[in-house]
Amino acid sequence: MPTYTDMTRCDGCGECVDICPSDIMHIDPVNRRSYNIEPNFCWECYACVKACPQQAIDVRGYADFVPLGHKVRVLRKEKKGLVFWKVTFRDGRVKEFTFPIRTTPWGSIKSPSAYEAPDPSELSSPMLAHEPAALKVETLPTLPPSN
């Protein structure tokens, strides 16, 4: 594996194909569902697992050091700003965790163009956008004169 797609859940929507950083989730031309074409280049990053609207993708850890019988499942609720994890051990023990993922609405970040345009002469200064206010100190540090 390590990611694999559940034949009965996948509807071939291609979300996993769009998101996979390693370009290894592809649509099988026969079954019209996704699968991992190159397991040995999968980082088990769960990008596809989190993106799948059908929860059709799971991970079975690498066979060279991971015994069977475990599960690490994830549900990422973007609008709620939460991610839920369920870890099932080989011996059946379960641990569950919930963590926040974002404190502002998705899409709410202001474009840098939305800020007042800087004075062109500032292009030669060492200051970056929003400084010094964003630094939360009065001035940009420079080398101590003794140096």
Partner 1 sequence: MDSDILIIGGGFGGCGAAYESRYWGRNLNIVIVEKANIERSGAVAQGLSAINCYMGMQWGENQPDDFVRYARGDLMGLVREDLIFDIARHVDATVHKFEEWGLPILKDPKTGRYMREGKWQIMIHGESYKPIIAEAARKSASKVYNRIMVTHLLMDELHSNRVAGAVGFDMRDGTFYVFRAKAVIVGAGGASHIYRPRSVGEGMGRTWYAPWSSASAYGLLIPTGAKMIQMENKIVLARFKDGYGPVGAWFLLLKAYATNAYGEKYEASWLDQIKSLVGKYADTQPMPTCLRNHAMLEEMKAGKGPIYMQTQESLDTMEKEETGWEDFLDMTISQAVVWASQNIDPKERPSELITSEPYVMGSHATCSGAWVSGPEDLAPEDYQWGYNRMTTVEGLFGAGDTVGGSAHKFSSGSFTEGRLAGKSAVKYVKDLQGDAPQVDEAQIKKLKELIFRPLENYKVGRNEIVAGTVAPSYISPLQGLQRLEKLMDEYAGGYSTFYVTNEPLLNRGLELLDMLKEDIEHLGAENLHQLQRAWELHHRILTAEAVTRHTLFRQETRWPGYYYRADHPKLDDAEWHVFTASEYDAKTGDWRMSKLPVHHIIK
What CA–CA distance (Å, rounded) separates 27 from 18? 11
Instruction: Tell the smallest beta-carbon distance from residue 66 to partner 1 (Å).
Output: 5
Q: Which is nearer to partner 1, 8 or 12 (CB)?
A: 12
Look up tokens 């989190």; give the residue. Answer: 50
**91 lies in the binding site for partner 1 (CB under 8 A):** yes
Query: Among the candidate windows 5-13, 27-35, 119-127, which touches partner 1 by CB under 8 A?
Result: 119-127
Q: Which of 11, 14, 23, 43 is catalytic?
A: 43
State the binding string over 29-68 for partner 1 (x if CB under 8 A, else -).
--------xxxxxxxxxxx-----------x-xxxxxxxx
Known catalytic residue at 106: no
**130 lies in the binding site for partner 1 (CB under 8 A):** yes
Report the chain's terminal Cα–Cα distance, integer Å: 56
Q: Looking at the annotation, which residues are catalytic?
A: 43
